[in-house]
Amino acid sequence: MPTTAILTFRNHRFAVVAVGVGCLLLALAAVGVALWLGSFNVPQECLDNPEIRGTLPCLGTDDALAINEEWAGKVMAAMAVLPFVSGLLLGVPLVGTEIETGTATIAWSLSSSRRRWLLARVGVLGVTLAVLLAVPAIAANALEAERLPRFDLATAVILDFGLRGPLVVARGLAMFSISLLIGLAMGRVLPGLIVAGVAGLVLYYIVSLAQGVGWPAPEPFDARPGAYFMEYPHEWVDHEGTAFSFQELVARAPAPLGDPAFDTWLADNYREVAVGIAGERLAIVEQRELGGLAVLTLALVGTSAWLIERRRPY
């Protein structure tokens, strides 16, 4: 097995180094931005009350929010792309290059089991990909904890779902297995990269749709009030726990919107709540998607193992 691993690395060193450098740079960026944001040490009251941001303890707040918006946002956006590109770069050439350059002809004539030949290489590069992606996935979790406004990740609506933690690895492996199958089926690297890229986008869309089906239903829950209510769904519940949208409350209110009586009525009778899946349920949601992606990955690798026994090596 060590010989197989060494030779597989040598054969695919460009892709392995490219993915490794990408993962390392993104992990460093995530940690760097997290430290940068942390260095401002912005007091919570400066975030809650924009009017005091010109005062001494809050002088760095605007800069910190700008870094949060620009740099942390970019790092998280890159986290969406990284597993996609990494899986693509390692998956398509794994067999595609061998067929395109003709080396599969020699390898498959020497190997009494093409399936074993494939699975050994899938194992080596799959484990490598998982380890490499785990580094930025952990670093992104650290960045998330420093993002502004500071949320208690355990109680807020799930933030940046799938852009941090184990799902980054699972999505990368799913993309790797799709790319593997397409590279094997097409036997050409460049067309394989294009087709697998499109297939990856389709998969991303399907996973997004499946999330609505497989996830727990969003529900109102108490979360720390703060600026995130501006960005994430929220409702108002009455004393019996019935939820209303803001438009419904405007229609029911005894005074028009803007009248101080409206604000009083609202505060006396309703409580603002977040609507969604609380961060404390993140593990459940992650486990469901991890399970789905694991099944998909295994099915795609299994299909590749079936196909390789039937495919010509050229």
Partner 1 sequence: MNDTGRPALEASRLSKTYGRNEALRDVDLRIDRGTTTALVGPNGAGKSTIIKTWVGFEWPTAGRVAVLGFDPRRDRARALNHIGYVPQATALYRELTVEDHLRLAVTLRPGFDRSHAADQLRRLEIPLGAQTSGLSVGQQLQVVLALALGTRAEILLLDEPLASLDPLARREFLAVVGDVVRARGATVLLSSHVITDIQQACQRLIVLGHGRVLLHAGIGEAIRQHWLAEADVPLDGHESMRPIGDFPGPTNETFRLWRREDGAPAVPDDRRLRPATLEELVMGYLASGRALTH
| Residues contributing to the site for partner 1 (CB under 8 A) | 3-4, 7, 10-11, 13, 101-103, 105-113, 117, 120, 309, 312-314
Does residue 224 contact residue 152 with C-beta atoms inside 8 Å? Answer: yes
**Least distance to partner 1 from the beta carbon of 227, Å?**
53
Prior bond to 136 cis, omega within 30? Answer: no
Measured CA to CA, the distance from residue 207 to residue 210 in angstroms comes to 5
The nearer residue to partner 1, 108 or 151, going by C-beta atoms, is 108
DSSP letter at 30 equals H
Residues 273, 187: Cα–Cα separation, whole Å: 54
Q: Which is nearer to partner 1, 102 or 233 (CB)?
A: 102
Say if CB 16 and CB 10 are below 8 A apart: no
Spatial distance between the Cα atoms of 233 and 219, rounded to a whole number of angstroms: 10
Dihedral (CA of 85, 91, 93, 96) sign = negative
Nearest approach in angstroms of CB 127 to partner 1 is 17
The nearer residue to partner 1, 117 or 236, going by C-beta atoms, is 117
Compute the least distance from the CB of residue 61 to partner 1, in Å.
Answer: 53
Distance CA 195, CA 219 (A): 39
Closest CB to partner 1 among residues 192, 200: 192
3-state secondary structure of 161: coil
Nearest distance, CB of residue 93 and partner 1, angstroms: 12
List, in sequence order, the alpha helices (H) in 41-187. Answer: 44-48, 61-67, 73-101, 103-110, 114-146, 166-186
Our CB check for partner 1 shows the closer of 5 and 243 to be 5
Closer to partner 1 by Cβ: residue 1 or 251: 1
